[in-house]
Structure 1
């Protein structure tokens, strides 16, 4: 999703072992955005189990949907719909946020209600609007499956347990980082990674004030903001939203918390006017969209969403 509107250790100097080469220096361009790091080390057995659970419909009360239903990691980590629907077929109030890079943000959900990925997952499993289940119900279903029971014993040393279901899903979600985008390659020193228009778009992104809210490793996701500062924007509620990440934003249409902007250019123009009181020229809009396209990273060796 997109919301363009008006962050950062002391290191111990370690001498590498004789058989090792020292790490290559990382170029610091002094920019407000930093590259996505490699995925953190997680227990591979727990992450693999979490990936299996992510696509398991038994996590929903009526066995009708899995996490993948709203968070399609084969495309954009969210969905192509303006609003996903609840278990009764009623549209959800807010557009679905992508699961890619979500663990790099400081809070979870549009309103930032949850401080940890585990709390966010638990709430989704229990919410009557999404999965409508409970730890006891999910555990009983999985324990009745000999193969799944064996997988939990291997990964956790015990039979399926609600806490371990959440932990496995969280372990998997922490692997869903998408490094390697062209903008990240530019940040890391590859001057040929961006075109002249993309660089122009990035300069505009900073000079117009977009980077005041969209900065850091996730190009957003680390503060709250009121929308519609100068002009109305999208649905008036909720008034205060967690600024979403712009990582892979070119793949996550439609945009805004209500999904009311069908294209990235439409979203950029509306956000500039509503949040910055700026009316973009056609050239400015094209340049900003070009820059935002460069934020598309890779997942398992391929660009997210298959975009260039």
Structure 2
């Protein structure tokens, strides 16, 4: 398997501003920290902006429209609906635990959450705005003006709006999954079947791409390592080119950021093209096109049992 980029969990935690965790050193998956300790005033401004449709050109779409915190951090649609009613090119990835991703978007075109906010606000399909207009709308709101003046010395600026939203997004982590508790030493947090599912997850090689604190999100990989997924699916779109859209390097054709598997059972459909409608479908595709291996139904069922242990908590609630 050709690994195109890789970053271990400890590096991700340092980049996110936290220290490495005390977790079993012999396990490729590490537990999430309980918090990333963001500035509460800035995070609250970001929360308000995240839910504010005024960031879009016509006031019809907010960040939460595509990244609903009640729907696993995504929107449950195959494609999201932009401010003008047009559909996006890919299925919206979850905002939960995005702070731990080494890049943002399926094709990794943003290096940070701030960069992701910047590109979404200006995207001609998604929000269709200009930063000058967004700053003017936010600055015209007396409550925002006061909040920004208190939290940011420069007040309302495009950079501070991006930072506030990103700060809020860094609070959207889902620690304390049953598997996290197991990794921290609670052997009774998962069942014997779930433990066996984890063993098979490692034995089959799933863990080669899905490891670290985010169980993914820290490398790029070709979709179709062991078979031509796109030839079989057909109807190729520009979004299917993946990382190639960013680099125009032929080696990046059909290459995507490996998604996190945290809370994966709660957020169908799956993949950038939403082609897998159930977790069972997604596991089948991974075995065929990424691993090139045949698994028994029992093996796949046990792996899915394990994946369900990755459901965490948001602000202390399941």
Query: TM-score if structure 2 supplies the norm length?
Result: 0.85
Alpha carbons of 1:27 and 1:115: their partners in 2 closer, same or farther (altered >3 Å)?
Answer: closer
CA distance in 1, matches of 2:150, 2:108: 34
CA distance in 1, matches of 2:23, 2:147: 43
Task: Report what 1:286 is aligned to.
Answer: 301
Q: Is the 8 A contact 1:54 1:66 kept in 2?
A: yes
Shift of 1:8: 5.5
Shift of 1:166: 0.5
- State the Cα RMSD in Å: 1.6
1:110 is the counterpart of 2:125: no
- The SS at the match of 1:241 is strand
Task: Report what 1:267 is aligned to.
Answer: 282
Q: Is the 8 A contact 1:230 1:276 kept in 2?
A: yes
CA distance in 1, matches of 2:84, 2:141: 27
> Comparing both structures, which one devotes a greater share of its residues to helix?
2
1:233 is the counterpart of 2:215: no
1:84 is the counterpart of 2:99: no
CA distance in 1, matches of 2:82, 2:9: 38
1:177 is the counterpart of 2:173: yes
1:141-160 to structure 2, matched below 5 A, reads 141-160=137-156
Q: Report which structure shows greater RCO (CA 8 Å, sep ≥6).
A: 1
Task: Report what 2:94 is aligned to.
Answer: 98
Deviation per residue, 1:4-48 (Å, 9 max, x gap): xxx258xxxxxxxxxxxxxxx945251000000122222110001
CA distance in 2, matches of 1:296, 1:232: 31
Larger Rg: 1
Task: Report what 1:166 is aligned to.
Answer: 162
- Decide which of 122, 126, 135 is 1:126's aligned counterpart: 122
CA distance in 1, matches of 2:272, 2:53: 26
Deviation per residue, 1:210-243 (Å, 9 max, x gap): 0001111111111111111223336662201011
Shift of 1:253: 0.2
After alignment, is 156-165 or 194-203 more displaced?
Answer: 156-165
CA distance in 2, matches of 1:63, 1:33: 41
Structure 1, unmatched stretches of 5+, are: 1-6, 10-24, 304-308
CA distance in 2, matches of 1:27, 1:263: 31
1:258 is the counterpart of 2:273: yes
Task: Report what 1:45 is aligned to.
Answer: 41
Deviation per residue, 1:26-80 (Å, 9 max, x gap): 4525100000012222211000110011000111010001100000012200111
Deviation per residue, 1:274-299 (Å, 9 max, x gap): 11112221111110111000011100
Query: TM-score if structure 1 supplies the norm length?
Result: 0.88
CA distance in 1, matches of 2:259, 2:9: 18
How many aligned positions are there? 282
CA distance in 1, matches of 2:215, 2:205: 13
Shift of 1:184: 0.4
